[in-house]
Chains A and B, each alone.
Chain A
């Protein structure tokens, strides 16, 4: 039996995995991937079957934990945002070498247009050089169906499978047909090729040859995939390759029926057979893909001088930002100006009085008090520099605080402040949140401890992972012990509540930390206003009962 449900792309994939015999889900929160693990955490089946669903400290630990579950023959997923895959790149690329035993899906949610990210990297490139196949759903139903299919593909070829999502699919709801009966979980069993899991050079060299051969085979299978297809059209003056969401935008632009032949791509390596047929049968080929020109580069190469391939690199498709139905329509118009259905539209003019409304730190947020105190102290010094990090407190860059000078990647506040101090910068201040600290700040702090670097590290602890909506933070209740354990001198480790009434005291300990010629750490703590409200209403509800 099937039930229709209204699901986000993230949720559809999560439910597909649950119904596909999932035993463990691993993740670190990151927009737009967070809802995958959240959905699994709240699903009744998770409780019933004791499916693993605890947050991991970062994406690297998450991938390794999932790989360990796969080693034992069970089905696992691990989900992250695209930049999280950078953190997890080491185990991810090497998981191509070990291969998988139980079905393993590595879900990377890309964020073209950078709705909530610092770059537009395209995860398909990672999968390509790791020689790991990719599934790229074009809608929520495919996201659901691909989970089970992906587990089977993974087990059939003993290889992890990447599922590539993009923001517009992750965070868009649609009606999805779901199974009522979940598959049973796999029983614990060990890999058929146990040597392959020990990546010593002699074994890896041997394995690498098989991996290359397997990747070729996977490419052949792509042309037979239920998610890739050749849809013929009557006008062969152009053919179109449309991957993932681009397929939907193409269908929108041409009213559900395209006059040109189209190869829909949702499984990689590229279906060469289908694409060759398109190139043979059509005069030109337009490539429509969400993200960077991954497919186009492969079709074009360096030596293509046919002038028959159009896409992002040749300028017909927008090079940055996410695709939209309007961008796809314009691309079609640029290549084929004489087609009526893609003629430019004449929309209403934008309003001239509307002003931008950037996001801001919540009223009553402890990060505000940290920045007020820090700014007041730093006004006493010449040329202070503040190295920021990834989280709500990155908003401290904006007015009225204008408080940070850098924001690069998870954990970079501490290490960049250290590097700046090495260069002679003083004051050099790092500001990092609690969850980001345990994600990637601890190892950098150890570097600073070992050299007693002349920096002030402020850990602005709001007891949660705030920006992504308030997930458990792995360091809650342990930050002082972690800092001391790493070797921070207790005489220069302070804790304070980030409250307006403590403004002067915060200023005093920040100043003391800056003036001390070595490493100081201040943990300024106040629960996130959003999670505090949630906890208060849950408490009130419990009291009512």
Chain B
């Protein structure tokens, strides 16, 4: 088993909590793991990414080679496209479609949607809206984690344990909201995957 995942987003959006949860779950499963993060200057509203590598075998490099990623998991649609050269030809993109616009020359959403659609293996939906519906807008990163989870061979309960660990200190209510967001994302993605598998 091997999963090379590029996590993408904008500084402050919460991609590192996704990495932390998957990391805790992978550690419990006895998997090998390497996860390269970005700290410092680039965190201030700039583009951020993290390379997360999970494997049943030892992992050499902390970075994913070009064309090697099985998954791009992004909290922001333009950021999902930034790492295309890292995605393998068979790889999937799972992304939120709500744009984070803090630059003047942000591209046209229709162009982003078209380019995403052209990639084929894509799960893209408004994760902010789904998060608001089942929990709160702040849980959109857990919707994203849920949406990516069917592609990752770690038992869903183990990931939920990871969510409990990460949010445990903030109280039961917040844990439950995040788990609800995670489950909603997972359910939504499973539906899309079923449809796509018939066509792709």
Scan residues 50-89 of chain B and give those whose CB is less than 8 A from a CB of chain A: 58-67, 78-79, 81-82, 84-87, 89
Residues A168 and B102 in contact in the complex (CB < 8 Å), given A116-B40, A354-B81, A355-B107:
no
Nearest B residue (CB) for A5: B27
CB pair B78 A355 closer than 8 Å:
yes
Whether A395 sits at the interface, judged by CB under 8 Å, is: yes
Whether B153 sits at the interface, judged by CB under 8 Å, is: no
Instruction: Quote the shortest CB–CB distance from A177 to chain B (angstroms).
Output: 12
Contacts of A359 in B (CB 8 A): 11, 41-46
Contacts of B105 in A (CB 8 A): 355
Number of A-B contacts (CB under 8 A): 146
- For the complex, give the distance between the alpha carbons of A281 and B82 in Å: 45
Whether A305 sits at the interface, judged by CB under 8 Å, is: no
Contacts of B111 in A (CB 8 A): 353
CB pair B27 A347 closer than 8 Å:
no
Whether A361 sits at the interface, judged by CB under 8 Å, is: yes
Contacts of B64 in A (CB 8 A): 325
Whether A346 sits at the interface, judged by CB under 8 Å, is: yes
* Segment of A249-257, A313-321, A479-487 engaged in the interface with chain B: A249-257
CB pair A4 B35 closer than 8 Å:
no
CB pair B82 A354 closer than 8 Å:
yes
Whether A169 sits at the interface, judged by CB under 8 Å, is: yes
Contacts of A441 in B (CB 8 A): none
Contacts of B40 in A (CB 8 A): 31-32, 115-116, 467-468
Instruction: Quote the shortest CB–CB distance from A30 to chain B (angstroms).
Output: 9
CB pair B106 A355 closer than 8 Å:
yes
Contacts of A8 in B (CB 8 A): 37
Partner of B112, one of A348, A349, A353, A468: A353
Residues A345 and B67 in contact in the complex (CB < 8 Å), given A31-B40, A115-B41:
yes
Contacts of A355 in B (CB 8 A): 78, 103, 105-107
Nearest A residue (CB) for B23: A6
- For the complex, give the distance between the alpha carbons of A168 and B85 in Å: 20
Whether A208 sits at the interface, judged by CB under 8 Å, is: no
Residues A6 and B24 in contact in the complex (CB < 8 Å), given A174-B33, A175-B33:
yes
Contacts of A42 in B (CB 8 A): none
Contacts of A249 in B (CB 8 A): 60-61, 63
Contact with B along A401-426 (1 / 0, CB 8 A): 00000000000000000000000000
Whether B130 sits at the interface, judged by CB under 8 Å, is: no
Scan residues 10-34 of chain A and give those whose CB is less than 8 A from a CB of chain B: 31-32, 34
Whether B10 sits at the interface, judged by CB under 8 Å, is: yes
Whether B158 sits at the interface, judged by CB under 8 Å, is: no
Scan residues 82-124 of chain B and give those whose CB is less than 8 A from a CB of chain A: 82, 84-87, 89, 102-103, 105-108, 111-112, 115
Scan residues 237-285 of chain A and give those whose CB is less than 8 A from a CB of chain B: 245, 248-249, 251-253, 256
Best-surrounded residue of B38, B66, B107 (most CB of chain A within 10 A) = B66
Contacts of B78 in A (CB 8 A): 353-355, 357
Whether B32 sits at the interface, judged by CB under 8 Å, is: yes
CB pair B39 A116 closer than 8 Å:
yes
Instruction: Quote the shortest CB–CB distance from B9 to chain A (angstroms).
Output: 10
CB pair A174 B41 closer than 8 Å:
no
Contacts of A362 in B (CB 8 A): 44-45
Nearest B residue (CB) for A394: B41
CB pair B82 A168 closer than 8 Å:
no
Contacts of B66 in A (CB 8 A): 326, 345, 347
Whether A130 sits at the interface, judged by CB under 8 Å, is: no
CB pair A360 B35 closer than 8 Å:
no
Partner of B63, one of A35, A251, A324, A358: A324
CB pair A172 B35 closer than 8 Å:
yes
Nearest B residue (CB) for A399: B104
Scan residues 370-403 of chain A and give those whose CB is less than 8 A from a CB of chain B: 392, 395
CB pair B36 A171 closer than 8 Å:
yes
Partner of A360, one of B46, B82, B87: B46
- For the complex, give the distance between the alpha carbons of A234 and B27 in Å: 36
Nearest B residue (CB) for A323: B63
Residues A32 and B44 in contact in the complex (CB < 8 Å), given A6-B24, A175-B32:
no
Whether B34 sits at the interface, judged by CB under 8 Å, is: yes
CB pair A357 B84 closer than 8 Å:
no
Instruction: Quote the shortest CB–CB distance from B91 to chain A (angstroms).
Output: 9
Nearest B residue (CB) for A4: B27
| 28 sample A-B contacts, Cβ–Cβ < 8 Å, listed by A number | A6-B24, A32-B39, A115-B40, A115-B42, A116-B39, A168-B63, A171-B38, A172-B34, A172-B36, A173-B35, A174-B32, A174-B34, A346-B67, A347-B85, A348-B85, A348-B89, A349-B84, A349-B85, A350-B84, A351-B81, A355-B103, A355-B106, A355-B107, A357-B78, A358-B46, A360-B45, A467-B41, A469-B39
Q: Which residues does A use to contact B, with CB under 8 Å?
A: 4, 6, 8, 31-32, 34-35, 115-116, 168-169, 171-175, 245, 248-249, 251-253, 256, 324-326, 329, 345-351, 353-362, 392, 395, 467-469
For the complex of A and B, the 7 pairs showing the least CB-CB separation, nearest first, are: A116-B40, A31-B40, A359-B46, A252-B61, A251-B60, A347-B67, A359-B44
Q: Contacts A249-B61, A392-B44 given; 11 further ones with Cβ under 8 A?
A: A6-B24, A32-B39, A115-B38, A175-B33, A248-B61, A324-B65, A325-B61, A346-B67, A351-B82, A353-B112, A395-B44
